[in-house]
């Protein structure tokens, strides 16, 4: 990409769980999934955990809120149901934010109440990775 871009994704992960059940619960197909013990394509290793990812981006933007709000819209208020599913299946959640900075153009990092409420409801961690090109 020729401009700074942002990708935000929610990862629900744990030892083992029914990926289809979570997909049905959320009502949106995941962007990526993996099952613990299965080989990772192109590598000589296997997945260490089962995971379900829902992603938005990468999107050329200097506004982080614009990108994570698109992810929250995809979740369509299913955070409480996800939280219950996570509790029953002993799972964890993480919001991953990946920022590719181009030509020194850095985005603003701002978390609005809606995003923070989702983080809290899911008892999720937030991981921010930045790359400069």
99-133 residue pLDDT tens:
999 999 999 899 999 999 999 999 999 999 999 98
- pLDDT on residue 1: 54
Closest CA to 72 of 7, 10, 13: 10
- pLDDT on residue 2: 82
Do 39 and 56 touch, CB atoms closer than 8 A? no
- pLDDT on residue 17: 98
Q: How far apart are CA 51 and CA 48, in angstroms?
A: 9
Closest CA to 96 of 9, 5, 6: 9
pLDDT, greater one: 41 or 87: 87
Q: Indicate the DSSP class of residue 107.
A: P
Give how far Cα 14 sits from Cα of 4, 28, 33, 35, 53, Å. 32, 20, 12, 10, 12
pLDDT confidence bin for 20, thresholds 50/70/90: very high
Two tokens at 38?
Answer: 């299965």
Q: How far apart are CA 61 and CA 77, in angstroms?
A: 24
81-92 residue pLDDT tens:
999 999 999 999
């Amino acid at each position: 990409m020729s401009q700074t871009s942002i990708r935000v994704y929610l990862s629900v992960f744990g030892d083992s769980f029914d990926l289809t059940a979570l997909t049905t619960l959320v009502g949106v197909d995941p962007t990526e999934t993996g099952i613990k013990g299965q080989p990772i394509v192109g590598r000589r290793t296997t997945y260490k955990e089962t995971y379900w990812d829902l992603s938005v981006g990468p999107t050329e933007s200097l506004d982080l809120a614009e990108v994570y709000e698109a992810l929250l819209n995809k979740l369509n208020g299913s955070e409480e149901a996800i939280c219950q599913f996570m509790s029953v299946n002993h799972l964890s959640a993480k919001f991953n934010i990946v920022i590719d900075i181009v030509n020194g153009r850095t985005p603003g990092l701002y978390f609005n109440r809606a995003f923070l409420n989702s983080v809290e409801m899911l008892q999720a961690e937030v991981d921010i990775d930045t790359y400069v090109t």
